[in-house]
Amino acid sequence: MRSVDRTLEYVVRSARRRGHGIECRMLSSNSDTACRNTRLGHGVTVAPDADQTMHKTMRYNTLLFDLDGTLTDPFEGITRCVAYALEGQGITVTDRAELACYIGPPLQQAFEHFHGLDAAQSARALADYRERFADVGLYENVVYAGIPELLARLTASGRQLFVATSKPWAYARRIIAHFGLASYFGKVYGSEMDGQRAEKHALLAYIMRQQKLKPGETLMIGDRRFDILGARHNGMDAVAVGYGYGQPEELAAAEPLGVFESPTALGDYLLAPAPVSAPAETVTIR
């Protein structure tokens, strides 16, 4: 949904499937606001609801942010380092766009899955990747437009924020600090260099134990299915961002609560009063 009035109070609720589409109902304090169709997979229809009752409470106390494809766009750094690592295995990549699939999943598994390397080869490729990434690729990165403003709005609202990335925390903390985002986060969590907690579900379970978080008050925000499924595995809600590297079909299959096409739209949703009942189906808000 585009150009949402900042005075608009909305929640998405009472969702149900109809054929290939999803019909969702929207609560609005502005009855003149037009609802427009958006598309995710076979499409999403959003319609106004006459019932405008909602709880005036915070929507999630704790927010867990993925890093790559959510806070920053790491395309240059990751694809250059993957190409460098594959070169060491005798594989030449002429179009780095083909390597965007490496943004998100654990890297050693990705080398095996996408290029058929065996365990020994993938371990060597990962070492070569890190050789370049630690000094160069780490900074071949850019913060998405609107992210600093989003983080400032959320921290000002009293929420606690954490980074939850499959990338080793040693790298992630340097990236967050380099771009001046460290002050917004209570802590930056990631995997260990030996691969521990590289799977998102294991990482989220670890964060919840360390921070003593309640699943019902915690939201995972990411751009890939790993983020959504990892959150669900731990009993927490998850939303997706549509500007990252998850394809629409991938996100539709993972069924996040919503897909947000910009940091501003995500912030408007999170800062709206909490609904009577949580969204039940996927929606796209622009």
All structural domains of the chain with their residue ranges: 62-72+144-271, 75-139
Residue 88 is predicted with a pLDDT of 96
CATH class of the domain defined by 75-139:
mainly alpha
Interatomic CA distance for residues 240 and 260, integer angstroms: 6
CATH label, 62-72+144-271, candidates 3.30.420.40, 3.40.50.1000, 3.90.420.10, 3.40.50.880: 3.40.50.1000
139 with 105: CB under 8 angstroms?
no
Q: What number of helices (H) and strands (E) belong to the chain?
A: 9, 12
Beta bridge partners of 47: 25
Give the single-character DSSP code of 22. E
Beta strands in 35-101 (DSSP E): 44-49, 62-65, 72-73
The pTM (predicted TM-score) of the whole model is 0.76
> Among residues 32, 41, 33, 98, which one has the least CA distance to residue 281?
41
Interatomic CA distance for residues 266 and 261, integer angstroms: 8
Interatomic CA distance for residues 280 and 169, integer angstroms: 33
Residue 48 is predicted with a pLDDT of 35
Question: What residues in the chain have per-residue pLDDT under 50?
Answer: 1-56, 280-281
* Catalytic pick among 5, 32, 49, 66: 66
Assess whether 32 carries a catalytic annotation: no
Q: How many other β-carbons are positioned within 10 Å of the β-carbon of residue 117?
A: 21
Distance spanning both ends of the chain, measured CA to CA: 4
Residue 284 is predicted with a pLDDT of 61
